[in-house]
Each structure stands twice: as C-alpha cells, then as structure tokens.
C-alpha cells in the first residue's frame, strides 16, 4: 500500500511555539527582519504546510523503494523525487533563509527552522538535496569577494546542489586523521587528491552543478584538525556566466546501500583520480575546521530537528490509528466476555505510550524552536555573544537527545499499531529506518556528549550553564500561573539540583584526572547520561513555560489544544524528571571497573 499522505503536521503547535511561547511577532517586521512581518510568516507557514503534506511527501515511499544506481559516475533521481524538489525550487523556497544581498528573503532563523521541520518531516531523504543551500550561505559568510561572485551567486540563481565533505574511509569520526591532500597550484587554487566517504548528496544529475566544501590537508600542514583547510570544489568548473563548464576531477566512485533514507545518495567521492580536482582555498585562509564548523553546527541542528519532526508525525499517525482501531474490552470490564470492544486508545498501556510520545514530541519542538529564537536574538543583537553561547550549549542536546529519544519513541509509535506496524502498509517501519541514522551522523551521541562536557561546560567554566540554570530557577520559585503548577515547579527544582550534582561529580573526576589519568574514565562513562539529564531539565523547563502560556490563554474557557499542552508539561515533570536522581546517584558511585575488565571477559 502506498502512503504518500503519510505526513501529519502539527501547524498549531508550530504557531504556538513561534507566536505564543516565544513571541516572535514582537520583533518581526523590524530590522534585521524587515521583509518578514507576522502576517507574511503565517502565510509562509500555511503554504509550506500544504506543500510538505502534498507535493513533498508524495515521493516519500518512492524514494525508499526505488534503488539509486550509479551509472558512469552519475546518479539520476527517481521521477517523483525530482517532482517533489521542483515544488520547493519553483516556489523559491530554497532561498528563504539566504541574506537579501545574495538573493534571498532574509527570513529569521526561527522561520527557516519551522519550514525545515515541515519539509524534513515529510521526506527527509529528498530534503537533503535542498539543504545544500546551507553551503552557499556559509561560503557567502567566509568566502573571498571573488568566490562569492564565482560560486555563491550562481549557486543561488541556478539552484546548485551542495555538500559537506569531511569523512574518510579510515578516519571516520576522527576527522583530524584525514589524509586527503591539497597541492597548491597558484594563489588560492589547489589540486586535491584523496577519497572521501559517506558524502550526502555527493552526486545527482538533478542539479546542474554541485558545490563541494571539502576539508583537505595542504602539503606541509600540521597534523590533526588544525592542519586541515577548506576548499570549494565544484562538480563542473563554472563559466563566466555561472553555467557549467568543464567537468572537474571529483567523481562519485560508489554509493552506500543503507538501512534507511535510501533516496538520499550517500557517496564515495574520489578526488584527482584521472583528471585534477581543482579546489579554491575558502576565504584565502587556512582556517578549515573553524569554517566547516559553521556547516557542522547547522547540520547538527537540522538532524535534531529531523528526529523531532519524524517523531511528531509518527505519534500523530499512531494517535489516529488508536482512535479508530477497536480491539478488546475496556480493562474495567475485562472479565465480561460480552462487553463491547473499545478503541485501543481506551487501554491504559496504549495511553501511556501515546502520552510519552506526545510529551516528548512537543518537548523536542519546544527545544528546537527555543534555539531558533536564540538565533533570532543573535541576529538582532550581534554585539552580545551570550545568545550564541547559549545556542551552542543547546546544540548537543538538540542533536544527541532528540535523535536517541525519537528512535526509541518511534518504536513505541509502531507498537501502537501492533503487528500491522511491522508491515509496509503503514509508514512507521520506514520512519524508524530513516531515523536510526540520526544518532550516528554529524557526530554520534557519544561525540555530542563529550562536546557538551568538554567544550560547552568545562571550556566555558560553566558560565553559560549557570546563566541558564538561573533562568530555570526563576520559574521554579514562582510562575505567572500562581500555584497551579506548584508540584511541577518543585519537581523541576529537584531535577535541576540533580543535574547540578551530576555535573559536580563529573567535574571533580576531570580535575582528579590531571594527577591520575585513569580518573577520566568516571566522568566519560557518564557523559551520555549527563546529556540526557540536561536535555530533560531544559525540556521540562520549556514545557512548563508553555503550560503557563496555555493556562493564561484558557482563562476559564475550554480548548483541547491548550489543555493538551498543560497535560504534556505535567506528564513530563512527573514521569521523566524524577529519573535524574538515579543518574546522579549512578555517577556518584561509579568505580570505572568496566574499564579495568580484561577484553576477554566481554
């Protein structure tokens, strides 16, 4: 059974986040977002909601069931995927987030992420061909004026594809071990030689040209990530007018056969095999890893958003099924063999699973859109770096927590369908396959956890974390809704203490490791648990803020949506936050014995 209309959006919750919880309308229509007032943003959201459900979701199944084939170094995308992409490009939606000076609409980040949620939830494999536009955005920020003229402008005008090229077969996540080399020809022009692997959208004939942003090591450069530089390597060397000229020496030499997101071409790219692969040193400076991190950070947030979007539609599909599928008597009448059959949403276990999905789906959306709001503020107040620092603290939570939790909860959504969920009659099995990759690429969960601990907490001396904790304490002390959420506020306060206790244990382990290196095992064994705890405190806080907004909006009236927001916050506070105590205690009693075990005992 084909299910092009698999996609269930939650436009009401997206608008609630943007306009009720984070109140973007208070600054929309003003610099730097002059072009985008509230009315325009709402119009964009309505149209993208339609386009995502209809045009973009239409090739969801086709992209999964039509194997991509590599013919003489080229990949032709399935017809339906091309049609889905046409709908985005023909509407100019790929330009939404670009700065106006390079031909974009200058949308605030909060709106760009909302649009990305709708598209990446509808058809993640197809969306990756569009998200190449972020390469042009980054090159616009860090490229030389000549590079902007030669690559960025035609990339936007002529709808080029784009890739981030980091991974190598032997280096994997250890990007600094990369051996692809760059040989200077003259000035900023180099020839690249080497093999890269797992390159998303590395090849397709859909785009007339593809802009590869490649990390390579110039001859004589030092080891590790610091010795890497970033190069722009086009598939075709562009002519003066931007049209594709001669074929460059970067060729797709293999495609991966994958568990999920099968419609997304994941390529091995070989540079300089038969003809030179010409690349230009980005910005004319050797600053590769810092430049690439602009792409990496956007990609990490996109993947966290992808996970959350897939969970949301998975939950809404399960909810719809649970409301109509009749099976079994009500639990209170279980012994009566003549009792009527009830919809499965009446069964306690099904309700529990649905509520867990609902609270987390709304919580992850709250987290992503809060980061989008922070990025808006960063643009509004460029001289204040506190916005960027808080956003950076949240990124490993968005990427790591959302990907892990969504994968688990999507299996719960499938569970609601019973055996039917295991068939291809429903989209859940594809959601799960498409979502598993989210815990792996753009930095595995373990890498996100180390980034959180070492980069975002320790290197910052806990400053950004402390300012966030102080803000969370404000709502713990008392909220706008009086005593209505007293229990939840207390649970949030306890959870905040638990996460701080967990951090203290880990910091003391890190300090002790300076004298005896083995002490580093204790905090690093609990890094993933810390990521989980911190994400849940932040989500618990945001859901409680949202519940207060919903409570004040109800004003004695009835509205199932607002009442559902309150229910999500209560459920999360009462069933998720108490788990933080156990994680703290486990960190406190850790003896690192697992690290002392001889390998033979495994």
Positions marked catalytic: 442
Residue pair 596/522 in contact by the 8 Å Cβ criterion:
no
Q: What is the dihedral of CA 349, 352, 358, 359, to 10 degrees?
A: -160
For the chain, the C-alpha Rg in angstroms (whole number) is: 25
Short-list 129, 119, 132, 57, CA closest to 430: 57
Separation of alpha carbons 284 and 507, rounded Å: 40
**β-bridge partners, 211:** 162, 234
Alpha helices in 381-518 (DSSP H): 386-396, 402-416, 428-436, 445-450, 463-477, 486-512
Short-list 261, 264, 33, CA closest to 130: 264
Separation of alpha carbons 266 and 202, rounded Å: 7
Which helix H or strand E contains 194, and what residues bound it? strand 189-200
567 by Cβ neighbours in 10 Å (0-12 / 13-18 / 19+) ranks as middle
For 246, the token pair is: 């001669």
Q: What is the dihedral of CA 99, 105, 109, 111, to 10 degrees?
A: 180
Which letter, b or e, does each residue of 288-304 get, where b requires 16 or more Cβ atoms within 10 Å of its Cβ?
bbebbebbbbbbbbbbb
Residue pair 130/145 in contact by the 8 Å Cβ criterion:
no
Separation of alpha carbons 444 and 303, rounded Å: 11
9 by Cβ neighbours in 10 Å (0-12 / 13-18 / 19+) ranks as buried
For 443, the token pair is: 């930095």
Side-chain-side CA neighbours of residue 473 (13 Å): 8
The CB density around residue 47, as the number of other CB atoms within 10 Å, is: 14
Separation of alpha carbons 67 and 65, rounded Å: 6
- Bond into 32 cis (ω within 30): yes
Residue pair 411/435 in contact by the 8 Å Cβ criterion:
no
The SS3 call for residue 517 is helix
Separation of alpha carbons 343 and 326, rounded Å: 4
End-to-end CA distance of the chain: 44
Q: Tokens 């400053």 label which residue?
A: 463
Angle subtended at Cα 596 by Cα 594 and Cα 601, rounded to the nearest 5 degrees:
70
The SS3 call for residue 531 is helix
Q: In 272-423, which ranges are E strands?
A: 277-281, 326-329, 341-343
Q: In 295-367, which ranges are E strands?
A: 326-329, 341-343
């Amino acid at each position: 059974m084909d299910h092009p209309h698999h996609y269930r959006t939650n436009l009401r919750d997206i608008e609630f986040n943007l306009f009720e919880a984070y109140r973007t309308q208070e600054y929309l229509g003003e610099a730097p977002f002059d072009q985008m007032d509230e009315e325009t943003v709402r119009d964009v959201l309505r149209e993208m909601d339609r386009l995502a459900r209809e045009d973009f979701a239409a090739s969801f199944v086709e992209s999964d069931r039509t194997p991509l084939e590599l013919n003489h170094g080229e990949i032709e995308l399935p017809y339906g995927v091309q049609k889905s992409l046409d709908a985005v490009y023909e509407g100019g939606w790929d330009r939404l987030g670009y700065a106006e000076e390079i031909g974009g609409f200058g949308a605030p980040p909060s709106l760009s992420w909302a649009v990305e949620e709708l598209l990446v939830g509808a058809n993640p494999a197809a969306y990756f061909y569009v998200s190449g536009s972020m390469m042009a955005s980054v090159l616009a920020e860090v490229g030389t004026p000549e590079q902007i003229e030669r690559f960025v402008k035609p990339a936007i005008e002529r709808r080029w594809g784009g890739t981030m090229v980091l991974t190598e077969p032997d280096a994997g996540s250890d990007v600094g071990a990369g051996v692809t080399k760059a040989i200077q020809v003259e000035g900023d022009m180099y020839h690249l030689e080497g093999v890269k692997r797992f390159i998303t959208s590395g090849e397709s004939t859909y785009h007339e040209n593809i802009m590869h942003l490649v990390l390579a090591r110039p001859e004589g450069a030092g080891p590790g990530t610091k010795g890497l530089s970033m190069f722009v390597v086009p598939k075709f060397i562009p002519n003066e007018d931007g049209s594709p000229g001669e074929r460059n020496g970067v060729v797709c030499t293999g495609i991966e056969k994958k568990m999920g997101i099968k419609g997304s071409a994941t390529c091995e790219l070989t540079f300089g095999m038969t003809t030179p692969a010409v690349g230009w040193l980005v910005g004319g400076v050797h600053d590769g890893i810092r430049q690439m991190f602009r792409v990496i950070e956007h990609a990490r947030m996109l993947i966290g958003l992808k996970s959350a979007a897939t969970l949301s539609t998975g939950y809404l599909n399960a909810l719809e099924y649970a409301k109509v599928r009749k099976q079994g008597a009500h639990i209170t009448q279980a012994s009566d063999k003549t009792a009527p059959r009830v919809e499965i949403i009446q069964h306690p276990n099904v309700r529990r699973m649905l509520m867990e999905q609902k609270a987390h789906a709304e919580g992850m959306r709250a987290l992503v859109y809060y980061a989008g709001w922070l990025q808006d503020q960063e643009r509004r107040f460029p001289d204040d770096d506190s916005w960027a620092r808080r956003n950076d603290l949240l990124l490993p939570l968005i990427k790591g927590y959302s990907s892990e939790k969504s994968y688990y909860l999507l299996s719960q959504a499938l569970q609601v369908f019973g055996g039917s969920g295991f068939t291809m009659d429903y989209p859940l099995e594809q959601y799960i396959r498409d979502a598993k990759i989210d815990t792996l690429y753009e930095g595995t969960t373990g890498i996100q956890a180390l980034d959180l601990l070492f980069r975002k907490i320790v290197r910052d001396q806990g400053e950004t974390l402390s300012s966030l904790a102080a803000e969370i304490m404000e709502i713990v002390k008392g909220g706008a809704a009086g005593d209505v959420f007293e229990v939840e506020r207390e649970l949030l306060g306890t959870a905040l203490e638990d996460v701080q206790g967990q951090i203290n244990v880990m910091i003391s382990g890190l300090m002790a490791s300076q004298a005896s290196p083995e002490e580093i095992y204790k905090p690093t064994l609990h890094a993933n648990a810390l990521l989980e705890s911190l994400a849940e405190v932040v989500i618990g806080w945001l859901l409680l803020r949202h519940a207060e907004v919903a409570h004040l909006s109800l004003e004695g009236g009835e509205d199932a949506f607002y009442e559902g927001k309150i229910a999500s916050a209560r459920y999360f506070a009462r069933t998720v936050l108490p788990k933080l105590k156990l994680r703290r205690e486990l960190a406190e009693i850790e003896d690192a014995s697992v690290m002392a075990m001889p390998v033979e005992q495994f």
